[in-house]
Amino acid sequence: MNLRRDVFQAIADPTRRAILLLVASQTLTAGAIAANFDTARPTVSKHLQILTECELLTQQQTGREIHYHINAKKMKEVADFIEPFRQMWDDRFNKLESIMKNYKPKK
């Protein structure tokens, strides 16, 4: 299964939205975040991994603990409604570029 790591995927899940809300007000460790949910710890870890891959969260290693911060810049992009529109055109144009790079004119 190969899921695209995009911000839509991140914010479409209620648990991930709840994690973002938690971390928005304070920096927390994975354990402290998991303590807020009934969900199994590995499930929360998976959500944290997805949010990190989407760059909505950033990790900071302090000794043996990893602290999670919210990435305000990326969050602003999500809030900014132009971004999905831009991404839609960016996807289309990237596709155009790859198609035309392989384009062979017909005789």
Partner 1 sequence: MELKTKVNAEDGMQDLTITREFDLPLELVFKAFTEPELIEQWMGTKVLKFEGKKFGGWQFETSDPKGNVVFKADGVIHEFTPNKRITRTFEMAGVPFGVQLEVSEFEALTDATSRLNMHVIFESGAQRDEQLKLPFKQGINWAHNRLEEIVSKLK
Report the SS3 class of residue 58. Answer: strand
Per CB under 8 A, 31 contacts partner 1: no
User: C-beta of 14: minimal distance to partner 1 in Å?
Assistant: 10
Per CB under 8 A, 18 contacts partner 1: no
Q: Are 78 and 56 spatial neighbours (Cβ–Cβ below 8 Å)?
A: yes
Q: What region does 12 belong to: left with phi over 0, alpha with psi -120 to 50, or beta?
A: alpha
**Binding residue for partner 1, selected from 73, 82, 104, 107, defined by CB under 8 A:** 82
User: C-beta of 3: minimal distance to partner 1 in Å?
Assistant: 8
Burial of 58 (0-12, 13-18, 19+ CB in 10 A): middle
Per CB under 8 A, 95 contacts partner 1: yes
Report the SS3 class of residue 3. Answer: coil
Per CB under 8 A, 40 contacts partner 1: no
Binding site for partner 1 (CB under 8 A): 1, 3, 6, 8-9, 11-13, 81-82, 84-90, 92-97, 99-101, 103
